[in-house]
Amino acid sequence: MQETAHAVPEPKLSAQLPQSHIDCTAENIEQGLAKLVLSLIEVLRQLLERQAIRRMEGGSLSEDQIESMGEALMKLEAKIHELAAHFGLSPSDLNLDLGPLGSLLEK
Asked which of 48-62, 76-90, 91-105 is least confident by mean pLDDT, the reply is 91-105
Residue 35 is predicted with a pLDDT of 92
Q: Is 68's pLDDT higher than 90?
A: yes
Report the domain count for the chain: 1
- Measured in degrees and rounded to the nearest 5, phi and psi for residue 97 equal -85, 120
5 is a domain residue: no
d(CA 31, CA 94): 11
Residue 94 is predicted with a pLDDT of 87
CB-CB contact of 52 with 77 (8 Å): no
pTM comes to: 0.68
d(CA 45, CA 106): 12
Expressed as residue numbers, the domain containing 87 is 26-92
